[in-house]
């Protein structure tokens, strides 16, 4: 089975992912839901043959060592894809995610202007959070593209893997791939200190060392944009701080309070008209009061008055989802699956 033909089918359908698993037909994720393609179930050897079309000999050696491999691959006139290869019950399988091919315009993506304004800051930490598969990488690339188009700066982006090449515009964009250019994010963050960067973008803060290095870079005059796989601002702050031993947490809270600019949290919700998914988001802008709550370890009560764009304000995601439901943009089923508090939409269901 030709993997390029499968990818063309996925792209034509507008799917975000292609899944190759033994015992099942090839499957795609369309508008957040799995859809099986019309094909016979794949055998073990067919799965391994498809994987063989994706990897080099060196990559196979890495997979044999780690039993897992993630990398980016580009096909002309088709696109760039993030490929994850793994083993299940002794069979090699793969999940392939398509990168956006139509640019990263703020308005098209539904991103707020306040987020663009934050990219103009010269120092500090901006966190982007979202569950897996909810557009986090696309938002990161939109931020890079916005800075690239507006300012003459050096932007170093540490990505695992690189899913889309961003050509230089006004800025110098250096995309560093984990596993190819550096062994891990920590090494990339250590190296960037000697690379005269103005902006550092990190696709994921994986370890306490990664977090500590990101905070140091923000303190030393860099704008750091980093992503986390968590659903809310509170969860992001809690995860970053709790990653450290208790005796180190007061220092981390002080650093966080001093450099954190904002936390942008998003998720993608299926539209009622089946024309893709729509972004639901909240933006926590850090003011003196919120910084004090972080410093005093009162993160659980970080919940300022609603209002996207107000200084120190948060547009709670549940309020956005409620508005979409009231306007008929999303279904009750989609709203129930997306909200954090079911009571926020109880009167509309």
Pick the residue with more confidence: 315 or 195? 195
pLDDT (tens digit, 9 = 90+) per residue, 22-40? Answer: 999 999 999 888 999 999 9
**Nearest CA-CA partner of 161 in 182, 146, 139:** 182
Give the pLDDT score at 304.
39
Q: What's the CATH architecture for 106-315?
A: 3-Layer(aba) Sandwich (3.40)
**What percent of the chain is predicted at pLDDT more than 90?**
77
DSSP 243-268: TS-TTTHHHHHHHHHHHEEEEEEEEE
Q: Domains of the chain: which residue ranges?
A: 3-98, 106-315
Q: What's the CATH architecture for 3-98?
A: 2-Layer Sandwich (3.30)
Does the pLDDT of residue 105 top 80, yes or no? no
Residues paired with 71 in a beta bridge: 83
- As a whole number of Å, the CA-based R_g of the chain is 21
How far does the chain reach from its first CA to its final CA, in angstroms?
46
Give the pLDDT score at 24.
96
pLDDT (tens digit, 9 = 90+) per residue, 269-319? Answer: 999 998 889 999 999 999 999 999 999 998 876 653 333 333 344 458 898
Structural tokens at position 336: 């129930």
Give the pLDDT score at 163.
85
| Whether this model's pTM surpasses 0.85 | no
Task: Give 110: exposed, middle or buried? Use CB within 10 Å, 0-12, 13-18, 19+.
Answer: middle
Over residues 48-65, mean pLDDT: 93
């Amino acid at each position: 089975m030709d993997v390029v033909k499968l990818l063309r089918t996925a792209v034509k359908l507008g799917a975000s992912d292609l899944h190759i698993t033994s015992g099942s037909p090839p499957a795609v994720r369309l508008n957040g839901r799995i859809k099986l393609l019309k094909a016979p179930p794949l055998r073990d050897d067919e799965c391994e043959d498809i994987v063989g079309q994706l990897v080099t000999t060196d990559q196979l050696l890495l997979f044999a060592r780690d039993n897992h491999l993630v990398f980016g691959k580009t096909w002309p006139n088709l696109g760039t894809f993030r490929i994850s290869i793994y083993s299940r019950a002794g069979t090699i399988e793969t999940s392939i995610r398509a990168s956006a091919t139509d640019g990263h315009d703020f308005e098209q993506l539904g991103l707020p202007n306040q987020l663009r304004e934050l990219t103009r800051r010269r120092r500090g930490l901006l966190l982007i959070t979202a569950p897996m598969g909810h557009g986090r990488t696309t938002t990161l690339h939109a931020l890079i593209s916005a800075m690239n188009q507006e300012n003459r700066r050096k932007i170093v982006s540490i990505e695992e893997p690189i899913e889309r090449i961003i050509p230089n515009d006004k800025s110098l964009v250096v995309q560093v791939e984990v596993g190819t250019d550096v062994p891990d994010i920590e090494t990339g963050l250590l190296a960037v200190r000697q690379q005269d960067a103005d902006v550092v973008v990190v696709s994921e803060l994986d370890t306490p060392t990664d977090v500590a290095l990101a905070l140091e870079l923000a303190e030393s005059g860099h704008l750091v944009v980093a992503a986390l796989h968590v659903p809310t601002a509170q969860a992001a702050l809690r995860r970053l701080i709790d990653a450290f031993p208790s005796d180190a947490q007061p220092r981390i809270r002080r650093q966080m309070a001093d450099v954190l600019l904002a936390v942008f949290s998003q998720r993608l919700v299926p539209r009622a008209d089946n024309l893709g998914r729509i972004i639901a988001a909240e933006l926590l802008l850090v003011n003196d009061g919120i910084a004090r709550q972080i410093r005093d370890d009162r993160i659980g009560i970080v919940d300022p008055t609603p209002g996207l764009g107000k200084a120190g304000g948060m547009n709670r995601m549940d309020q956005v989802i409620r508005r979409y439901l009231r306007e008929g943009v999303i279904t009750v089923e989609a709203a129930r699956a997306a909200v954090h508090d079911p009571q926020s939409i109880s009167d509309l269901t």
